[in-house]
Amino acid sequence: MRSLNHDEPPGYDDGFGRQQAQVSMPRLTPVTRRLLILNGAIFLASFVIGVGSPTTGAVLFNLFGLSPELWAGWFPFVPFWQLLTFGFLHSTMVFSHILWNMVQLYFFGTMLEGILGSRRFLTFYIVALCFGGLLHLTVEFASGGQMPVIGASGAVLGVVVATATLRPRAQVFVLFIPVTLMVLAGVIVAIDVLSAVRDLSLGISDGVAHWVHLGGALCGFVCVRMGWIQVDWVGRLMERRVALRDERRAQDDYDMDALLAKIHSQGLAALTKREKEFLKRVSNRK
């Protein structure tokens, strides 16, 4: 698989309206690089632990993988962390599991991060990962299944579909054949849909978490179509926190002026315990 030359602006063509597929290896973007390193490091650690102590390895996979069985308990005690951690674990028995995910993340992650910027890309990646996990849990509970899952496939397919939705006519090379992102994403999603329907109809599983894949893909498509992927949700949250802090400080200054006026007219002894605590807190404020 090869990507378009990332040095060219989106929608680059040859002047005649024809998209040019320029063979290149994209430069790693910051978040994609960190995700690749993190997934690789956890895979190596899992492999070493599994070889040294298979029992410990199985316990860790059950604890940090997405296990529907553990989610069947009381609400406050369900392992919420699994919605995030399961996406950083990969099978140590099937090397192609992590290899295929990381290859897709390398090519499509760098492309999408280049479009969105690092912070929005990371936010979307986490959302797609969690959404894929939630869809898997929903289907398993509805069908009475308890299949545990691991892997970044949901988040990665979310990245693939989001990129294809944003740049449907962009081309990549698959086995030296130029294919548009729209066609490539469509084929991948279609395979998962057919496989998921087959598993449900036959009541069996081929060992692949197709619903995780489809959850991530659906998240990617909807987030792009609704414009949510373009929103810097983390930036908005940080701005809101700053605004609330400034509002609290302004209110504290107003209350302090009133308190100082009371001290001036009635003396310090007239302050209530609550007013003294407020005076101490504001005085120590940096």
Helix orientation angle between 153-166 and 181-202, rounded to the nearest 10 degrees: 140
Phi, psi for residue 145 in degrees, rounded to 5: -90, 165
69 within a domain of the structure (yes/no): yes
The DSSP letter of residue 29 is: P
100 within a domain of the structure (yes/no): yes
Domain co-membership, 65 together with 110:
yes
Domain co-membership, 225 together with 253:
no
Count of domains in the chain? 2
**Average pLDDT of the chain, as a whole number:** 86
24 within a domain of the structure (yes/no): no
- From the list 171, 172, 173, 206, the residue with the least C-alpha distance to 191 is 206
**11: three-class secondary structure by DSSP:** coil
Which has the higher per-residue pLDDT, 87 or 203? 87
Degrees, nearest 5: CA angle 117-123-126:
135
- From the list 256, 233, 232, 252, the residue with the least C-alpha distance to 244 is 252
Average pLDDT rounded to a whole number, residues 257-268: 85
In this predicted structure, what is the pLDDT of residue 23? Answer: 54
Domain co-membership, 177 together with 247:
no
Domain co-membership, 274 together with 150:
no
**141: three-class secondary structure by DSSP:** helix
* pLDDT over 50 at 8, yes or no: no
In this predicted structure, what is the pLDDT of residue 269? Answer: 81
- Give residue for tokens 């807190």: 281
* pLDDT over 80 at 197, yes or no: yes
3-7, 91-95, 135-139, 249-253: which range is least confident on average? 3-7
For residues 180 and 171, the answer to whether their CB atoms sit within 8 Å is yes
Residues in Cβ contact with 98 at an 8 Å cutoff, skipping those fewer than 6 apart: 39, 40, 43, 90, 91, 151
Domain co-membership, 45 together with 165:
yes
- Give residue for tokens 């990646």: 125
- From the list 105, 133, 266, the residue with the least C-alpha distance to 209 is 133
> Distance (Å, rounded) from C-alpha 85 to C-alpha 46?
13
In this predicted structure, what is the pLDDT of residue 74? Answer: 67
In this predicted structure, what is the pLDDT of residue 162? Answer: 97
17 within a domain of the structure (yes/no): no
Domain co-membership, 103 together with 149:
yes
pLDDT single digits (tens) 10-19: 443 443 344 4
226 within a domain of the structure (yes/no): yes
pLDDT single digits (tens) 201-254: 877 777 788 999 999 999 999 999 999 999 988 888 888 888 998 888 888 888
Average pLDDT rounded to a whole number, residues 82-94: 93
Domain co-membership, 257 together with 177:
no
3-state SS record for 152-219: CHHHHHHHHHHHHHHCCCCEEEECCEEEEHHHHHHHHHHHHHHHHHHHHHHCCCCCCCHHHHHHHHHH
For residues 205 and 146, the answer to whether their CB atoms sit within 8 Å is no
Greatest Cα pair distance in the chain:
86
Residues pairing with 197 in the sheet: none
> Distance (Å, rounded) from C-alpha 125 to C-alpha 131?
10
| pTM of the complete model | 0.80
Domain co-membership, 110 together with 54:
yes
Domain co-membership, 155 together with 183:
yes
Domain co-membership, 53 together with 109:
yes
Domain co-membership, 115 together with 197:
yes
68 within a domain of the structure (yes/no): yes
- Domain enclosing residue 249, as ranges: 236-283
Domain co-membership, 160 together with 110:
yes
Q: Residues, the chain, total?
A: 286
